[in-house]
Amino acid sequence: MSEIQNKINGLIKLREEAKMGGGQKRIDAQHAKGKLTARERIKLLLDEGSFEEFDMFVTHRCTDFGMDKSHPYGDGVVTGYGTIEGRLVYIFAQDFTVSAGSLSKTMSEKICKVMDMAMKMGAPCIGLNDSGGARIQEGVNALAGYAEIFQRNVMASGVIPQISVILGPCAGGAVYSPALTDFTIMKKDTSYMFLTGPKVVKTVTGEVVTQEQLGGASVHSTKSGVAHFAVDTEEETIALIRKLLSYMPQNNCEDAPLAVCTDSINRLEDSLNEIIPDNPNKPYDMYEVIKAIVDNGEYLESQASFAKNIITCFARFNGQSVGIIASQPKYMAGVLDINASRKAARFVRFCDAFNIPLVTLVDVPGFLPGTGQEYGGVITHGAKLLFAYCEATVPKVTVTLRKAYGGAYIVMSSKHIRGDINYAWPSAEIAVMGASGAVEVLAAKEIAATEDPEAKVKLITEKEKEYTDKFSNPYVAAKYGYIDDVIEPRNTRFRIIRALQSLATKRLVNPAKKHSNIPL
């Protein structure tokens, strides 16, 4: 056998060794927990045969605490690039079989290299997280590694889509990278995120809590809003990533890919003519409206279990990707509150950053009142949503279905904050407030002066009817040009598509500045 063939055989052997990560025993332990290995996850996610790996032979440089005795290839993370539906993506997957996926300086360098290349090439970056945190043996070098990653997350924000997937532990400083990316997906039962673990919590506060209760997928997808999606299996996670990317462009200089539309533009939805109840205080399901107007009734909802009074989802109109922000009258009457404002604001800003048009469906009675909201800073949080819509330069189409009261009317992509095309259904009510509240202000003295109970009730009823007749319709706003047209509900799909087509060449640039100062 020639010398060169010996070297080739040596390379093949080293590759096989690197692909085993921490060894068969640890791979088996990973499978026993119901978890896939880093390489298995990448193989499932990327198009078959498309993965090209970087830095397979990198090893750590630590010599303290016995670390010099073992130098596994790859050092706990698999990095490289490949394609998803033929589109270039960069990826890193932490390998729990090597030092529990803990982050070393060399591991961070591998991740940073992939992120740098994703920025150069203008392609999405996907991180599959399954790590025990910072590698304690490396001390400040591990912390430096995290900081280098965070800096790149921030520089990439709004330039390329960044998706974080939590498939195991993610604790301490490690949580900040996912928090800085665009979307975070958590797998139920096997993943968790928190800054300080249950032991520290018990020591400091005396509170006894499990990992799942402190930072499981259900907690972060329903209570904190940290996770945008919670999934049951790793296979479901992979399918979700592929679907999510299908709605996004490669980078901020491109448009999202157009899909082939098999759903007629002219499709009428007669059910929409009857979906608004006669009683203005009776709820209906906004999901039914969304399903009726988007292509083939298909949409992908973000943060579905968090702040359910507002819906944020991706969908398509005539094959064009859009972001939908919609009030949900079925939950808390569709009011805006702290969490709903935060949720919608971030979604609006993502869509604006990546040239995805915004479609807003409005049925909002106002902001949620009470000390809990005021003390929690609802003014500042509500201003985030206002700021996001005001700043957005993408095409903005708004449809007011029923209520649009007070400041909430302004905030939800009204004409006054650069809404491009604003439609209303005949059932729309655009006013400062509802009839009962308005009458309490407008006729306060007259009502107070009426002593007879029956006469007082009659007076209030008459005044409310007068206010309702004047404002419980869209025509006052339409008279001033604040509503571009009052449309028949069943024509909504067609009118939105035509509006988006007309806005395809929209050009709007905000004033030159270093950056804005959004209320945080």
Average per-residue pLDDT for the chain: 91
**Residue 76 and residue 99 in contact, taking contact as beta carbons nearer than 8 Å:** yes
Reading the block at residue 193, the tokens are: 């995120």
pLDDT band, residue 267 (cuts 50/70/90): very high
Length of the chain: 520
pLDDT band, residue 63 (cuts 50/70/90): low
- H or E segment to which residue 423 belongs: strand 421-424
In the CATH hierarchy, which fold is given to the domain comprising 3-246? 2-enoyl-CoA Hydratase; Chain A, domain 1 (3.90.226)
Q: Which of 111-120, 169-178, 218-227 has the lowest mean pLDDT?
A: 169-178
- Positions of E strands within 139-238: 162-166, 169-171, 183-187, 192-194, 229-231
Q: Which of 49-58, 214-223, 289-298, 457-466 has the lowest mean pLDDT?
A: 457-466
Q: Which of 200-214, 324-338, 486-500 has the lowest mean pLDDT?
A: 200-214
- Is the pLDDT confidence value at 306 over 80? yes
**Which residues have a catalytic role annotated?**
172-173, 407-408
Reading the block at residue 282, the tokens are: 């009776």
The CB density around residue 384, as the number of other CB atoms within 10 Å, is 22
Quote the pLDDT of residue 378: 95
Quote the pLDDT of residue 12: 83
The strand pair at 229-231 and 299-302 is best described as: unpaired
Classify residue 278 by its DSSP letter.
Answer: S
The CB density around residue 252, as the number of other CB atoms within 10 Å, is 15
**Residue 424 and residue 399 in contact, taking contact as beta carbons nearer than 8 Å:** yes
pLDDT by residue (tens digit) across 418-475?
999 999 999 999 988 777 777 778 777 877 777 788 877 787 887 778 887 777 789 9
127 three-class SS: strand
Q: How far is CA 477 from the centre of its chain?
A: 32
CA–CA separation, 457 vs 476, rounded Å?
27
Quote the pLDDT of residue 377: 95
Calculate mean pLDDT across residues 279-296: 96
- Is the pLDDT confidence value at 374 over 90? yes
- H or E segment to which residue 165 belongs: strand 162-166
320 three-class SS: strand
- H or E segment to which residue 91 belongs: strand 87-94
Quote the pLDDT of residue 20: 77
Fold identical between 3-246 and 270-428+473-502? yes
Q: Which residues contact 488 (CB under 8 A, 6 or more apart)?
A: 273, 425, 426
pLDDT by residue (tens digit) across 16-46?
877 777 788 888 888 988 899 999 999 999 9
Quote the pLDDT of residue 26: 84
367 three-class SS: strand
Q: How far is CA 444 from the centre of its chain?
A: 45
In terms of CATH, what superfamily is 270-428+473-502?
Answer: 2-enoyl-CoA Hydratase; Chain A, domain 1 (3.90.226.10)
Q: Is pLDDT larger for residue 73 or for residue 354? A: 354
Classify residue 70 by its DSSP letter.
Answer: -
- Ranges of each domain in the chain: 3-246, 270-428+473-502
Reading the block at residue 314, the tokens are: 């991706």
**Residue 313 and residue 324 in contact, taking contact as beta carbons nearer than 8 Å:** yes
CA–CA separation, 68 vs 140, rounded Å?
18
CA–CA separation, 462 vs 435, rounded Å?
11
Calculate mean pLDDT across residues 78-94: 96
In one-letter notation, the amino acid at residue 140 is: V
